[in-house]
Amino acid sequence: MNFYQIMPKLMCRDYGFECDFVAEGEEGKVIEEFRTHMEEIHGIDYSVEAVKHFITRKQK
C-alpha cells in the first residue's frame, strides 16, 4: 500500500441512516463489512459494484 493512499471509510449516516456504523480500512474489508451490515441491519442488499461506487465518490 502506498503511504499516501487514503483508506476507504463508509458511514451509514452518509447514506441517510441514523446509525453509527463505520467501515474503515482496506477496500475489500470495507466493502465486505458495509455490505454485511447494510443487509443484516437495514435490509438492503448492495452489490459489490455499488459499494465500490460509494467509495469512489467519497474519494473525489
Q: What is the pLDDT of residues 6-59, one digit of tens each?
A: 789 999 999 999 999 999 999 999 999 999 999 999 999 999 999 999 999 887
More confident site: 60 or 51: 51
- For residue 5, what pLDDT is reported? 67
Q: How far apart are CA 57 and CA 39, in angstroms?
A: 21
29 vs 6, 22, 40, 56, CA distance in Å? 14, 12, 16, 15
Distance, CA of 8 to CA of 40 (rounded, Å)? 21
State yes or no: pLDDT of 4 exceeds 90. Answer: no
